[in-house]
């Protein structure tokens, strides 16, 4: 049988491209040819040519191709990210159409959740379209339900922050924990997101980077149609946990010093604090965190960035001496390691010295915690992380929450309390046992005949059997 070709179409940004690369590896392993179409736009969020070249060099079997997209209007740069990105992707449609037409055959087009306008191109060319949802299934359950719920809700979420909302298949969630982009019902961003979510139902199927066991209730609710009343739900393929392995050098070629430091620490003794690619804290918050860590008395590995009020460009190296409490670095010289800006997170999490992970609840970070079997302390910061936190703490039961994350400052005492809880208490031990179980079940899901493997088989059968 001739090899089938799948085109993957990520939204702007490395954060969208990396998960697609991991998905591409699954397609390749299962004998399909894969092309990733990368939007080439002057937009500030577009992936740089260098980043694409690095990914291409590391993955020679995946064809990465640029789609040239014309610049947007003059006021484009001032728009909010969702609006900007939606506009770039809308303008990319002609290039996508030409690109797909030029390929000898395309058997499926896999779209990122922001790429809903590309459904029009897929329909025009009669190419089956699927989505890849790179956040928890619980988020999908909420987001698909939103167009059915929000128009008749009492008010915008921002106007009822403490109201507890109930969506099928997920734990009760306070309105203030809903994703930032939909807080204001009347905003263009919120309308755009609802339109995009409503259109996801047009897909032939939805891949999700999770595994059945982890989110069984959301899976059931989605499959039964509880989240999308009166509409048929596309088949769901939970094919995770997929994590992006980039190696321990961060592209520099040298092993990061924190890994050598970890080698010298006892097993499960170190608290790792890392907050995604963008997470930053005020100087006041950094000082509270430092005090909390020091008072908790456990070893730590902490990724610190320059606070936003000091510098807009957070890639600039932080001045640790002035940012952290006086004498902190000296007092914790043996027991702590502060990494400036970045640490090789996946390698760190897999290191046997790590005992807990303080995370901003980005979904990649959460999955990396799960595949490493490390209990988490959830400190959500932006985007959909507060929703993720709810699933992680209440549904998956893989972490505890740092109280006060929605306020200006989380106090040192709270940091200390949650570190101690996970590192010292019975509750912490139970959490660790649960993570060991989640890790093993996640590994099994990916093995032959595991749930994620079977979910992929179902997609292959769909590709084989159906025509649009
Ligand atoms: N990451 C890393 N080192 C850091 C910070 C982040 O390797 O110091 C990686 C992390 O392993 C994860 C990604 O960056 O793969 C962050 O993705 P996530 O979805 O967790 O958060 P986002 O950056 O999208 O908010």
Q: How far apart are CA 134 and CA 131, in angstroms?
A: 9
> Which CATH number, 1.10.1370.30, 3.30.460.10, 3.20.10.10, 3.40.50.2000, labels domain 5-244+445-464?
3.40.50.2000
Question: 257-443: same fold as 5-244+445-464?
Answer: yes
Looking at residue 73, what is its pLDDT? 75
Which pLDDT score, from 0 to 100, does residue 249 have? 47
- At residue 244, the pLDDT reads 82
Distance 68 CA to ligand 1 centre (A): 27
Asked whether 303 lines ligand 1 (CB < 6 A), one says yes
Q: Where are the domains of the chain?
A: 5-244+445-464, 257-443
| Cα-to-centroid distance, 300 and ligand 1 (Å) | 18
Q: How far apart are CA 83 and CA 87, in angstroms?
A: 6
Q: Which two tokens stand for residue 168?
A: 């099928």
Residue ID of nearest Cα to ligand 1 atom 4: 342
Using alpha carbons only, give the angle 165, 166, 172 rounded to the nearest 5 degrees: 80
User: How far is the centre of ligand 1, averaged over its atoms, from the C-alpha of 325 (Å)?
Assistant: 26
Which parts of the chain have pLDDT scores under 50? Answer: 248-249, 468
Task: State residue 46's pLDDT score.
Answer: 86
Q: Is the CB of 41 under 6 A from ligand 1?
A: no
Residue 382: CB within 6 Å of ligand 1? no
Do residues 77 and 44 touch, judged by C-beta distance below 8 A? yes
Whether ligand 1 lies within 6 angstroms of the CB of 278 is answered as yes
CA separation, residue 380 to residues 274, 341, 363 (Å): 11, 18, 11
Please give the distance, rounded to the nearest whole angstrom, from the Cα atom of residue 235 to the centre of ligand 1.
29
Q: Give the CA count within 13 Å in the CB-facing half-sphere of 5.
A: 15
**What three-state secondary structure class fits 112?**
strand
Helix (H, G, I), strand (E, B) or coil at 302: strand
- Whether ligand 1 lies within 6 angstroms of the CB of 13 is answered as no
- Cβ proximity of 306 and 333 under 8 Å: no
Fold of 257-443: Rossmann fold (3.40.50)
pTM (2 decimals)?
0.95
Under a CB-based contact definition with an 8 Å cutoff, are residues 291 and 264 in contact?
no
Residue 219 pLDDT: 98
Determine contact, residues 59/21, Cβ cutoff 8 Å. yes
137 vs 126: CA distance, rounded Å = 28
pLDDT for position 468: 46
**What pLDDT score does 466 carry?**
63
């Amino acid at each position: 049988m001739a090899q089938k070709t799948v085109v993957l179409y990520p939204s702007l940004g490395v954060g969208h491209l990396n998960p697609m690369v991991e998905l591409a590896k699954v397609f390749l392993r299962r004998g399909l040819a894969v092309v990733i179409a990368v939007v080439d736009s002057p937009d500030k969020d577009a992936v740089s040519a260098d980043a694409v070249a690095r990914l291409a060099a590391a993955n020679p079997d995946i064809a990465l191709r640029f789609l040239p997209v014309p610049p947007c209007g003059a006021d484009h740069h001032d728009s909010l990210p969702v609006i900007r990105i939606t506009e770039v992707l809308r303008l990319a449609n002609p290039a996508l159409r030409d690109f797909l037409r030029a390929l000898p055959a395309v058997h499926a087009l896999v779209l990122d959740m922001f790429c809903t306008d590309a459904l029009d191109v897929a329909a025009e060319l009669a190419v089956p379209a699927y989505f890849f949802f790179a956040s928890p299934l619980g988020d999908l359950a909420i987001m698909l339900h939103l167009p059915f719920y929000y128009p008749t809700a009492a008010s915008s979420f921002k106007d009822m922050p403490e109201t507890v909302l109930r969506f099928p298949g997920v734990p009760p969630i306070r309105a203030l924990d809903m994703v930032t982009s939909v807080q204001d019902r009347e905003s263009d961003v919120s309308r755009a997101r609802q339109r995009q979510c409503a259109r996801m139902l047009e897909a032939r199927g939805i891949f999700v980077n999770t595994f059945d066991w982890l989110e069984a209730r959301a899976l059931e609710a989605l499959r039964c149609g509880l989240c999308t009343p009166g509409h048929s739900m596309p088949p769901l393929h939970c094919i995770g946990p997929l994590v992006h392995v980039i190696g321990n050098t961060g592209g520099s070629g040298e092993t990061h010093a924190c890994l050598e430091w970890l080698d010298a620490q006892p097993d499960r003794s170190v608290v790792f604090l890392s907050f995604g690619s963008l997470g930053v804290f005020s100087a006041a918050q950094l000082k509270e965190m430092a005090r909390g860590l020091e008072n908790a008395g456990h070893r730590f590995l902490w990724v610190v960035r320059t606070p936003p009020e000091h510098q807009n460009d957070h890639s600039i190296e932080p001045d640790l001496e002035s940012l952290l409490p006086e004498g902190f670095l000296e007092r914790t010289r043996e027991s702590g390691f502060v990494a400036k800006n970045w640490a090789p997170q996946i390698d760190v999490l897999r290191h046997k010295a790590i005992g807990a992970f303080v995370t901003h609840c980005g979904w990649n970070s959460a999955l990396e915690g799960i595949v490493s079997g490390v209990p988490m302390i959830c400190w959500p910061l932006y985007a959909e992380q507060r929703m993720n936190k709810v699933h992680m703490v209440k549904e998956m039961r893989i972490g505890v929450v740092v109280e006060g994350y929605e306020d200006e400052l989380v106090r040192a005492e709270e940091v200390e309390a949650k570190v101690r809880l996970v590192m010292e208490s019975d509750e912490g031990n139970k959490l660790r046992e649960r993570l060991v179980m989640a890790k093993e079940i996640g590994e099994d899901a990916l093995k032959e005949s595991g749930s994620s493997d079977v979910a992929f088989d179902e997609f292959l059968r769909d590709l084989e059997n159906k025509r649009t």
